[in-house]
Structure 1
Amino acid sequence: MPERLRLATRKSALALAQSTWVKEQIEARWPGVEVELVRVVTKGDKILDVPLAKVGGKGLFVKEIEEALLRGEADLAVHSLKDVPAETPEGLEVSVFPRREDPRDALVARPGLTLETLPEGARVGTSSLRRMAQLRLRRPDLEIHSLRGNLDTRLRKLDEGAFDAILLAVAGLRRLGLADRITEVVDAGVLLPAVGQGALGIELRSNDPRTREILAPLADTATATCVRAERAFLARLEGGCQVPIGGLARLDGDRLSMEGLVADEAGRRIVRRNAEGPAADAARIGRDLADEILEAGGREILAEVYGHA
């Protein structure tokens, strides 16, 4: 009898593509293991007519999946790491990070257009307050509107003329074989990505050493180091994925550099700072960067807009 693992995943095309990739990696490395996909509907999947920031709460795309893990209905879960809150429920761990895809944002528009050459007053769609804030700072003349739905839905709305351009993660487009839709990969200096963007986080029960052993070959050390810094940064800011917080760590040998920001939704105030140090101190670098941003005005922005600091 083959050994069976149940992998919990959302039902979207992107989630299924990511989970299928993990399933194939496991089965290729462990011929005696079969992975079954368990499809789960999350709160974030059900509420499509309200901007995510107004739905409230953290973990809109992971809570139901984590409950399935805790109930023993699944053995592991694959998440887009940017959707995963910094705090994990007791008994679970997000501890395996495969090699990261490009973490940057992508502009999808008519061929030849860039963020700088979009016409004045162009309608731009995005579901991310982080993107909205930075875009309003860079191009206050643009009309920025909330855009919900899975990737196919967003692209269809663009193609039907509801928007002149939309912003998406490069990683998601590439994983779905849609890289040809990208008209500009936006530099992180212009749009700082979300914490964990482009990375997958694999979650499992903390008391399950066998699943941890099976997942070990998928882990990428460099990715783990960078996301450790980013998630420590997010945890110190107490931010969920629907708060205008950006953070990106980069590794150069044994040195880690990280850039982070906190913004208000209107893009009027953005506090952006850099930090660097030994890669072994990744978590400390992330926390110290968060503290620096809080002291430089980030605390006031978070307290005013979101009721916490």
Structure 2
Amino acid sequence: MSSPEKLVIATRASRLALWQARHVQARLQALYPGCRVELLEMTTRGDQILDRTLSKVGGKGLFVKELETALLDGRADLAVHSLKDVPVDLTHPFDLAAILQRADPHDALVSNTVASLDELPAGAVLGTSSLRREAQLRARYPQLLVKPLRGNLDTRLAKLDRGDYAAIVLAAAGLQRLGLAERIRAVIPVEDSLPAAGQGALGIEIMADRSELRAWLAPLACADTTACALAERAVSRALGGSCQVPLAAYATVQGDTLSLRALVAEPDGQRVLRAQASGPRGQAQQLGEQAARALIEQGADAILARLATPSA
């Protein structure tokens, strides 16, 4: 197989997205020293709309569409995404070509005043950008006031630092990647905040007909993370997962066994449904579908149907 001569990576222009794209750029340049790997920086609708929560303006796909346009018109060969931002119903002509080794999948507490969620006094304002976190935190800490938090990572930290929030919850991986690990006061156990499907992993999207590009990217893929992501995304796909739904799915691999936890909740945290599944890692997708069925049997479909109904 011949080596590529030039590859262009489409990326959001945020600091975290650029770190992720440069990470892939460095990996590709190490694999193919003769290849010129360039970045195409773009601003997406998700980056521009900062006054409303993602669930109100179209969900995670807002971070992907402009990058896909660059793939379609040939300005870019590949797009690098946080996997949790990639819609689970990705369809032709696009394809998820490689999922890289996962970083820390946990959510993290960031605060200038407390070292744990348990230390926050009743009525304290806790900021989060996702319905998934909000529902679980409301269920676990009903005495706290959970409020939306939008903007890129630096913007969110600035809102905390000026006192808008007593604490905020962010993905641990993003803070660690940007050298901000010291801002983490506590890593939140998965029992208290089950991660989003694909959290901590990077996904590389290409045009489905680029078979040579898929082969060049293959060495970047992590088999364990791919199996976990397949199971997690299968849960989300079976339940019609989107930003409008407080849904979580997290899998781990031990030897040949994949263990999966999944969750669907009411946004106010009054009702939280949980399911687990485990089995051979080669059956990752089936395990995800099994966990989704278990949630539906508990009544998840009623919660999802209600949330899917547009509000006036």
Do these two structures clear the TM 0.5 threshold for a shared fold by scoring above it? Answer: yes
Q: How do residues 97-108 of structure 1 correspond to structure 2 at under 5 angstroms?
A: 97-108=99-110
Aligned counterpart, 1:33:
35
Measured in 2, the distance between the counterparts of 1:14 and 1:242 equals 24
- Letter in structure 2 aligned against 1:153: T
Aligned counterpart, 1:288:
290
The farther-off stretch of 228-237 and 211-220 is 211-220
RMSD value over aligned CA atoms? 1.3
Aligned counterpart, 1:18:
20
Equivalent of residue 213 in structure 2, options 211, 228, 231: 211
Structure 1 residues 186 and 57, CA gap change in structure 2 (3 angstroms): closer
- Letter in structure 1 aligned against 2:56: K
TM-score by length of 1: 0.96
Equivalent of residue 78 in structure 2, options 76, 79, 83: 76
- Letter in structure 1 aligned against 2:123: G
Equivalent of residue 269 in structure 2, options 264, 267, 284: 267
Measured in 1, the distance between the counterparts of 2:298 and 2:174 equals 33
How far is the alpha carbon of 1:29 from its aligned partner?
Answer: 1.2
Q: How do residues 172-191 of structure 1 correspond to structure 2 at under 5 angstroms?
A: 172-191=174-193
How far is the alpha carbon of 1:46 from its aligned partner?
Answer: 1.2
Equivalent of residue 195 in structure 1, options 191, 194, 197: 197
Measured in 2, the distance between the counterparts of 1:145 and 1:94 equals 33
Q: Secondary structure in 2 aligned to 1:59?
A: helix
Measured in 1, the distance between the counterparts of 2:149 and 2:243 equals 16
Structure 1 residues 242 and 74, CA gap change in structure 2 (3 angstroms): farther
The farther-off stretch of 99-108 and 68-77 is 68-77
How far is the alpha carbon of 1:243 from its aligned partner?
Answer: 2.0
Measured in 1, the distance between the counterparts of 2:239 and 2:307 equals 13
Percent identity reads 51
Measured in 2, the distance between the counterparts of 1:250 and 1:198 equals 13
- Letter in structure 2 aligned against 1:152: D
How far is the alpha carbon of 1:64 from its aligned partner?
Answer: 1.5
Q: Secondary structure in 2 aligned to 1:183?
A: strand
How far is the alpha carbon of 1:213 from its aligned partner?
Answer: 2.2
- Please tell me whether the aligned partners of residues 114 and 120 of structure 2 are also in contact (alpha carbons under 8 angstroms): no
Alignment size in residue pairs: 307
1:53-99 alpha-carbon deviations (Å, 9 max, x no partner): 11135512111111221222210010001111101131211130111
How far is the alpha carbon of 1:110 from its aligned partner?
Answer: 2.6
Structure 1 residues 166 and 100, CA gap change in structure 2 (3 angstroms): same
Measured in 2, the distance between the counterparts of 1:33 and 1:212 equals 16
How far is the alpha carbon of 1:112 from its aligned partner?
Answer: 4.9
How far is the alpha carbon of 1:49 from its aligned partner?
Answer: 0.6
Equivalent of residue 91 in structure 2, options 89, 92, 106: 89
Measured in 2, the distance between the counterparts of 1:66 and 1:263 equals 31
TM-score by length of 2: 0.95
- Please tell me whether the aligned partners of residues 84 and 241 of structure 1 are also in contact (alpha carbons under 8 angstroms): no
Unaligned runs of 5+ in 2: none
Equivalent of residue 162 in structure 1, options 161, 164, 188: 164
- Letter in structure 2 aligned against 1:96: A
The farther-off stretch of 278-287 and 66-75 is 66-75
Aligned counterpart, 1:8:
10
- Please tell me whether the aligned partners of residues 82 and 241 of structure 1 are also in contact (alpha carbons under 8 angstroms): no
How far is the alpha carbon of 1:111 from its aligned partner?
Answer: 5.8
Q: Secondary structure in 1 aligned to 2:25?
A: helix
